[in-house]
Homo-oligomer: A and B are copies of this chain.
């Protein structure tokens, strides 16, 4: 049996394994502040890569970045009842603007109470809507296409690093349009940006589709999501895109004069992804040795570990590694310059190697005296860590061959991770279910995956009833996949003729 780098396997305890990866890969840690985490350099480095690649795509689709206030006056929320109902229970509220010493303790100064309390933004539709109402007067001012990268706060009672934290980082796009058609087109365009970003950059297969009524964003006319399958079979909602109709334009008075000279309400959208994606990345690509980061989002794609022994020969090894790093940095892979790190920290080579295995650096290159003498390098690929005999698969390769092959190797790792995840997802979506009893059966096992079933799209109280029946099985609706086959036969919940196919799953 192979001795693994982590002390817990996915099989034995998936939740414990997840926490262990986060700790052992130096991704994040508890901060001491309730519900908030510290994102450490390796975790934040992945977020920076996500930001860079996604921001390029957001800009390429015509959006500009702005920045709106962290604080939102209570009165802004009062204007939109459904929206506030959705968020009021989890809002951090600022009530004072000064501290004073009292009995040797710091307390909020009663003399410095705010006239109107401020909410720390849980999302920015209201405050951005107020700006849009200033910016939009005529059809010529439309569309308004903006995005912001920001922190938001939702006071969650049960938190879990990356997946559900009181404060998290995200981007939120907000747009205003003259027509329903244009706003709906925007909603779908950004859903597609998220879908292709998840697949191409995160190597994370997802299903894009529309959320049912009960899962809509508070205030939305329609909500779409991308859903990814974790290795325990659960679903993770990894991004959402909302068509908001005139909900916020009527609350915030976003009106324009159309070409015919009449006043109309603008049609708005919003869409976002967050640091939650990193939680998904871990649960899609991690293995029992830690994380495996797809090369496109790896802060360092190739890490060079010199095997130093505090002897005079060390200098030759270090020089050899520096030259190697310089040569690798000249390469291009996956459309960008290769990111190669020379790890010169004061620690043993074996400790460093396993540190990088746990962090999931795509390629680890070890260089010892023998490699230097032979003009070689010892290469470990994170996507194929062990040989069939269970030994670490460290291949001695001529240095020139490695430099020639490195870009292609990174591309191959990106593809391999994507294909592995795609095969797993495809193999774990059950499609043949025709009755509710079959659905119950399908979710009896340990890692049941998802089920795609025919349904009649009930609404209101009928839908609530179905949702409750699913809840009893710890199941939820995920979305109606955009590319699902047409519905056929009867709805497995109501028996009525089915109108579409919907995904059912346990979820994070």
Tell me the A residues contacting B by CB distance below 8 Å. 29, 31-33, 36-41, 44-45, 47-48, 64-74, 77-78, 84, 88-100, 105-108, 117-120, 127, 130-131, 134, 140, 146, 150-151, 153, 155, 166-167, 169, 346-347
Contacts and interface: CB of A to CB of B under 8 A. Distances in A.
Contact of A48 (B65, B100, B106, B117): B65
A31 B93 contact: no
Contact of A117 (B40, B64, B65, B108): B108
A38 B68 contact: yes
7 contacts: A32-B127, A33-B72, A67-B169, A71-B167, A77-B106, A107-B117, A151-B151
A153 B500 CA distance: 49
B94 A99 contact: no
A95 B93 contact: yes
A40 B150 CA distance: 14
A293 to B, nearest CB: 16
B41 A65 contact: yes
Contacts of A32: 73, 127, 130
Given A65-B48, A99-B119, A36 B70 contact: yes
A44 B67 CA distance: 7
A155 B65 CA distance: 25
A91 to B, nearest CB: 5
A360 to B, nearest CB: 17
B33 A118 contact: yes
A279 to B, nearest CB: 15
Nearest to A108: B93
A33 B94 contact: no
Contacts of A96: 92-93, 95, 117
Nearest to A99: B88
A67 B151 CA distance: 10
Contact of A97 (B77, B91, B151, B167): B91
A394 to B, nearest CB: 26
Contacts of A105: 78
Nearest to A89: B98
B97 A94 contact: no
Contacts of A107: 74, 117
A106 B78 contact: yes
A79 to B, nearest CB: 11
A154 B64 CA distance: 27
Given A36-B69, A78-B105, A127 B92 contact: no
Contacts of A166: 71
A93 B92 contact: no
Contacts of A108: 93, 95, 117
A320 to B, nearest CB: 22
A72 B32 CA distance: 9
A461 to B, nearest CB: 24
Given A95-B96, A97-B91, A117-B108, A44 B73 contact: no
A88 B118 CA distance: 19
Given A88-B100, A89-B98, A98-B89, A106 B74 contact: yes
Nearest to A81: B101
Contact of A120 (B38, B94, B106): B94
Given A97-B93, A117-B108, A73 B130 contact: no
Given A70-B167, A78-B105, A97-B91, A127 B65 contact: no
A33 B71 contact: yes
Contacts of A29: 131, 134
Which of A38, A89, A120, A153 is packed against the most chain B CB atoms within 10 Å? A38
A67 B94 CA distance: 22
A88 B102 CA distance: 13
Nearest to A167: B70
Nearest to A100: B88
A38 B131 contact: yes
